[in-house]
């Protein structure tokens, strides 16, 4: 009987997939072998390549050689995957075991006709239609189980375009169990990754960059639920769900991809922790140091390795000052002089402190000098003499 039910379930999934394909038929453009900066309407990469022309990115074409794993294809993860696909990432590896539901339609990316499909399959089909140049690898399983956890580790360690480890892992899951699984895997593999999340009231979120051994991992400062060993499944109640806003999830996904691009393409400064409070539009930033007493043993090992590495040497750039005056020749007849040039007038009779020089002197004409002579002379009198002169007047 169970076999019949499984077959019926499979038939329903295939029917839903067929309906989704038939209801979303669209022409797919041909693959583009080489990114071009040519500014024409038919070039999907012209505005991305403009970053190179404007001096923001040295080599944007490098993005086609990079591989990124996105764990969790929900409200944040689906938008994250779409942004990376539109940016032309080389390979995208998706992990999720949930299905698309009509309850997900308050978020971005997924469409009603995809209800019933697995999120990774629905996402892969949509993303492939957006940019066929991107290699999409979908994995429909729960990474927290023992068997699947090892499959997850093997995939991110050998799943890149070159057969090696992926360049970055992006965590977009909505539970602490999956976050701890990703944290454990990345600590074991010494894999850099981003953690992200949105609060249950949907008005705050954050992203955090984690470099094993160099910054705090997720277990270094765990949330109270994790630190107390509470099964978060026991906290859920029937008929009660978390709030969800597409705005907050889109903002967090934007922050996540923006910093992922800065890390992958080497421009700007990667933020180690960036929070977002929608109620006050507050964006806190910080850098969390690793905990020497972290409960994850691999994190402690990575900390020792990080301390043993020599610090990076920063080469100071030599600054050459041009002594020539700017715009010495001009068509307006303006003569430029150095404000710090010594004055030609003799100022040897002035007693100035060391390091102080005369900026300018005021020439006194004879009339001014004669008219003020009495006042100058009077200023040299004592107070008693001045009082006597006033009484005599």
**Residues annotated catalytic, as ranges:** 241
d(CA 172, CA 266): 23
With a CB cutoff of 8 Å and minimum separation 6, the contacts of 200 are 242, 243
d(CA 49, CA 68): 20
The answer to whether 266 and 90 are in contact (CB under 8 A) is no
Nearest residue to 62 (alpha-carbon basis) of 94, 35, 30: 35
Going through the chain in order, the beta strands assigned E by DSSP cover 67-71, 91-95, 135-139, 168-171, 193-198, 204-210, 273-277, 285-286
With a CB cutoff of 8 Å and minimum separation 6, the contacts of 59 are 52, 265
- From residue 211, alpha-carbon distances to 51, 53, 187, 190, 259 in Å are 27, 31, 9, 8, 14
What residues form DSSP beta bridges with 193?
Answer: 169, 210
Q: Which residues of 331-344 are buried (b: 16+ CB within 10 A; e: fewer)?
A: eeeeeeeeeeeeee
Nearest residue to 250 (alpha-carbon basis) of 76, 94, 74, 70: 76
């Amino acid at each position: 009987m169970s076999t019949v039910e499984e077959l019926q379930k499979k038939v329903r999934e295939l029917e839903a997939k067929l309906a989704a394909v038939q209801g979303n038929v669209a022409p797919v453009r041909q693959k583009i072998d080489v990114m071009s900066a040519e500014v024409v309407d038919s070039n999907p990469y012209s505005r991305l390549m403009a970053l190179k022309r404007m001096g923001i990115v040295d080599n944007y074409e490098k993005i086609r050689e990079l591989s990124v794993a996105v764990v969790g294809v929900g409200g944040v993860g689906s938008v994250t995957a779409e942004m990376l696909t539109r940016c032309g990432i080389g390979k995208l590896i998706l992990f999720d075991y949930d299905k698309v539901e009509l309850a997900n339609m308050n978020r971005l990316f997924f469409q009603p006709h995809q209800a019933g499909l697995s999120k990774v399959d629905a996402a892969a089909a949509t993303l492939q239609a957006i940019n066929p140049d991107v290699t999409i690898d979908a994995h429909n399983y729960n990474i927290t189980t023992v068997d699947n956890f090892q499959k997850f580790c093997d995939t991110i360690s050998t799943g890149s375009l070159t057969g090696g480890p992926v360049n970055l892992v992006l965590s977009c899951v909505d539970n602490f169990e999956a976050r701890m699984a990703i944290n454990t895997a990345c600590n074991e593999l010494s894999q850099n990754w981003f953690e992200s999340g949105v609060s249950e009231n949907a008005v705050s979120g954050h992203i955090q960059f984690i470099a094993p051994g160099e910054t705090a991992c997720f277990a270094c400062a765990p949330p109270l639920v994790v630190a107390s060993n509470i099964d978060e499944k026991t906290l859920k109640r029937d008929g009660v769900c978390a709030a969800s806003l597409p705005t907050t999830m889109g903002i967090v996904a934007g922050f996540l991809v923006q910093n992922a691009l800065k890390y992958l393409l080497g421009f700007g400064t990667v933020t180690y922790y960036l929070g977002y409070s929608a109620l006050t539009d507050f964006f806190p930033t910080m850098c969390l140091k690793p905990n020497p007493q972290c409960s994850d043993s691999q994190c402690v090992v990575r900390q020792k390795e990080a301390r043993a590495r020599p610090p990076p040497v920063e080469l100071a750039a030599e600054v050459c000052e041009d002594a020539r005056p700017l715009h010495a020749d001009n068509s307006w007849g303006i003569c430029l002089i150095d404000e710090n040039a010594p004055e030609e007038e003799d100022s040897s009779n002035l007693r100035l402190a060391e390091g102080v020089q005369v900026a300018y002197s005021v020439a006194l004409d004879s009339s001014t000098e004669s008219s003020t002579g009495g006042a100058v002379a009077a200023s040299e009198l004592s107070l008693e003499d001045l009082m006597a002169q006033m009484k005599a007047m």
